[in-house]
Every structure is written in C-alpha cells, then in structure tokens.
C-alpha cells in the first residue's frame, strides 16, 4: 500500500496491484466444452518444474510456463487467440468499481478474544482461574449438542475473502499496474482475482 495524490489535492490510500501480463492459455467454447471461457496464465515458472501434461498444455501458447492458471467465463471468446495477452487497460479504467478476491493472512491458532473479539472475564470483583476462554457452549438435555458455527478458538485466517466495490484510482498500462483505493485481502505478493463489481452501480 502507498498514497496517491488526487487531482483535487486529497491524499488517497491505495494498493498497487501488478496485473500482468496475463496470457490466454486455453479457450473453451460451447460447441466443444458446453460453455465459453478463457483460461489465463499469470506469473512465470520454470518449465522443468512441471510434469509432462502441464508442459504440453503450456507449450501451445509459445509464451513459456505460468505459475497461476485461472478461468473466466465470457459470453464471446471468438476475439481471443491462444498466446494473446490480456491487458488491464483493456478491461478497467479510472473510476470503475471492482471486486477483489484473495487469501487472507494466516494467523494460526487463536483464542476467542483475538479471533471473535470476545469481552473476556472481569479482572476484578472476585478471582477466576481463566480470563480469556469462552463461556458455556451448550446444555444437557437440550440441545444436547453444540450448534454449527459456534464461535470458538481455532485456526484464524488463511481463507478466501472478497472485498467489494473498490474504486480504481488509476491504470498504468506500461507497467501492467492498477491502483485501487483502500486495502485488499492477503499479504504482500499474494495472488488476487479482480472482477467487475457485482453489486456496484451500473
């Protein structure tokens, strides 16, 4: 994350995302596959670190091997060819709203106070052996079990998270960069999925 000085003089907190080059690795069409989609490759990878089927799949593009493959459904894929680069400037412009999906930072095993913001036990007016654990999680005859979704201690983070309606501040096609207002999920150098906002204004 960094800062961006807008035209009106305001300082905007932004996240700089590298979006390419993304190369068309595979085309899927309704006649053959039952639906239209493009498989895009991102990030370089050594070809010797892939098995034979993966190598054959990548060689069709003539652009080397890719670290990440993702599929995107489209209504029409006839305008794209294998090996073609899809640039961020062709898809987004300043002022657009986007949804960004990524894997959140892993926090390891965490208690209920850190994970779910529990209040904890009082620190005065009598002593208690534990101060940071959860309270009762059920009862005897009814319900006689623990309900699904009960907030308890456990693994926190490292899960798929989407942030909606983030504004595109600027697009820099020379470096395949997109500047997004606000924060996005995950750590530095994490892999993100960027799409047009589902709930954003038309």
- CATH number of the domain that 80 lies in? 3.30.160.810
The answer to whether residues 90 and 149 belong to one domain is: no
Q: How high is the pLDDT of residue 62?
A: 87
Q: How high is the pLDDT of residue 202?
A: 57
Which pTM value belongs to this model? 0.84
The answer to whether residues 56 and 144 belong to one domain is: no
> Is the residue at 23 inside a domain?
yes
pLDDT band at 128 (very low <50, low <70, confident <90, very high): low
- Segments forming the whole domain that contains residue 189: 2-106+162-196
User: What is the number of structural domains in the chain?
Assistant: 2
| Half-sphere exposure of residue 142: CA atoms within 13 angstroms, side-chain side | 0
Q: Is 19 exposed, middle or buried (0-12, 13-18, 19+ CB in 10 A)?
A: buried
The answer to whether residues 120 and 91 belong to one domain is: no
pLDDT band at 127 (very low <50, low <70, confident <90, very high): low
What pLDDT, in 10s, does the model give residues 29-85?
999 999 999 999 999 999 899 999 999 999 988 888 999 999 999 999 999 999 999
Strand partners for 26: 39
Question: How many Å apart are CA 21 and CA 65, to the nearest integer?
Answer: 13
Residues near 123 by Cβ (< 8 Å), separated by ≥ 6?
A: 131
| Residues above pLDDT 70, as percent of the chain | 97
The mean pLDDT of 148-155, rounded to a whole number, is 96
The answer to whether residues 35 and 98 belong to one domain is: yes
The answer to whether residues 130 and 167 belong to one domain is: no
Residues near 170 by Cβ (< 8 Å), separated by ≥ 6?
A: 4, 94, 178, 179
Using an 8 Å Cβ cutoff, are 166 and 43 in contact? no
């Amino acid at each position: 994350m960094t800062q961006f000085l807008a035209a009106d003089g305001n300082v905007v907190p932004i996240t700089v995302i590298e979006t390419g080059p993304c190369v068309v690795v595979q085309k899927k069409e309704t006649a053959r596959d039952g639906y239209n989609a493009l498989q895009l490759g991102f990030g370089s990878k050594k070809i010797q670190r892939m098995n034979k089927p993966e190598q054959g799949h990548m060689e069709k593009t003539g652009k080397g091997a890719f670290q990440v493959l993702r599929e995107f459904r489209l209504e029409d894929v006839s305008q794209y060819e294998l090996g073609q680069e899809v640039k961020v400037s062709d898809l987004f412009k300043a002022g657009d709203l986007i949804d960004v999906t990524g894997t959140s930072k892993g926090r390891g095993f965490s208690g209920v106070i850190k994970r779910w913001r529990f209040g904890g036990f009082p620190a005065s007016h009598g002593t208690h052996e534990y101060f940071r654990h959860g309270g009762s999680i059920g009862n005897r005859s009814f319900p006689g079990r623990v309900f699904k979704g009960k907030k308890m201690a456990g693994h926190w983070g490292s899960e798929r998270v989407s942030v909606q309606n983030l504004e595109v501040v600027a697009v820099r096609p020379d470096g395949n960069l997109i500047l997004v207002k606000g924060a996005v999920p995950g750590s530095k150098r994490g892999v993100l999925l960027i799409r047009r906002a589902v709930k954003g204004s038309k």
